[in-house]
Amino acid sequence: MSDRLETVKSLIAAHPDFPKPGILFRDVFPVLRNAKALRMLIDLLCEHIKSTVASADIIVGLESRGFLFGPMVAEQLGIAFVPVRKAGKLPGKTVSVSYTLEYGTDKFEAQEDSVKKGQKVIILDDLLATGGTMKAAIELMEKLGAVVELCLVVIELDDLKGRNKLNRPFYSLIHY
């Protein structure tokens, strides 16, 4: 593992039994308390995108922790940022999809005019657990006619095998 990745990983905290008994919660927020580590993380994400994706139009960030890194990556790459939000938060016409995650169920929405047919998107989130959230985001983007070039997360919980649900190019920086 590279020095930069080691630095970022060393800052990720683990909280047993949060938000429910039996869940070991991986907390990425301490990385944001360290400006140098945050810059390393954004650089690592951008470097992976540049080396694997020929061209992309949009970084799609998933509420809420995908909003932390998505706009920073989009700005560094010089492309758009589009949010996918939990139901009822976005104005105008929306498309929606329901999904299950490691500790519950939820509904995601995107604005109908946020992505044009054929646009190439990279979906970004902090963490992949069961993969339900990422799978829902893929479904939502493809409903809008987007082409999902890459699904990218900072942290992957390997035991849950969420990546097997995606059937799209996928990459994670840090594994537990």
Catalytic residues: 65, 102
Task: Out of 61, 70, 83, 162, point to the residue binding ligand PRP (CB under 6 A).
Answer: 162
Binders in 26-85 for ligand ADE, by CB under 6 A: 26
Inter-residue contact 119 to 90 (CB < 8 Å): no
Binders in 36-75 for ligand PRP, by CB under 6 A: 62-65
Task: Out of 59, 102, 119, 146, point to the residue binding ligand PRP (CB under 6 A).
Answer: 102
For position 133 contacting ligand PRP by CB under 6 A, the verdict is yes
Q: Which residues of 76-105 are buried (b: 16+ CB within 10 A; e: fewer)?
A: bbebbbbbbbeeeebeeebbbbebeebeee
One-letter amino acid for residue 17 of the chain: D
For position 129 contacting ligand ADE by CB under 6 A, the verdict is yes
Distance CA 167, CA 151 (A): 10
Interface with ligand ADE (CB under 6 A): 23-26, 101-102, 127, 129, 157
